[in-house]
Amino acid sequence: MEPSRKRVLVIEDNSILAVALEETLLHLGHAIAGTAQSLDEGVRLARDADMDFAVVDVDLHGRDAFPIVDVLHERGIRFVLATGLPHDEIPAPYDKSVIVSKPYDMRELERAIISAG
């Protein structure tokens, strides 16, 4: 796999945004490692999926996605957080993460993936 090409796990509770995000990631040259729309499925995939990177929606049907982020961190998987909230509403220590705004902007997403590693 090319160094810049990543297998990306998509965690997004809005199915329309999830499809758009997947299409954007594919357009940027990445592969989709899996997709989850709930916290429980996201945690399972974060533990088990073969991935290089993840894009994690902060709010999954009213539940914080930070347990997913914790699993990714334990596995050494880099990620970006996605939110429609003001970035200053992300609690510590997660506020130190690379954050992208929703709706997704392809250029912002690409910069965030590069920045996060």
pLDDT at 1: 43
pLDDT of 106 > 90? The answer is no
| Section 12-25 average pLDDT | 94
In a domain, 88, yes or no: yes
In a domain, 28, yes or no: yes
Place of tokens 């902060």: 58
pLDDT at 48: 97
This prediction has a pTM of: 0.93
pLDDT at 3: 46
In a domain, 70, yes or no: yes
In a domain, 14, yes or no: yes
In a domain, 2, yes or no: no
Residues 6 or more apart whose Cβ sits within 8 Å of residue 37: 11, 12, 13, 14, 15, 18, 60, 61
pLDDT tier at 55, thresholds 50, 70, 90:
very high
Tell me how many domains the chain contains: 1
Q: What CATH number is attached to the domain comprising 16?
A: 3.40.50.2300
Of 11, 88, 66, 4, the residue nearest 42 (C-alpha): 11
DSSP-derived letter for residue 49 is -
Residues 54 and 72 sit within 8 Å (Cβ to Cβ): yes
In a domain, 1, yes or no: no
Give the range of the structural domain holding residue 106, as residue numbers without chain letter. 7-116
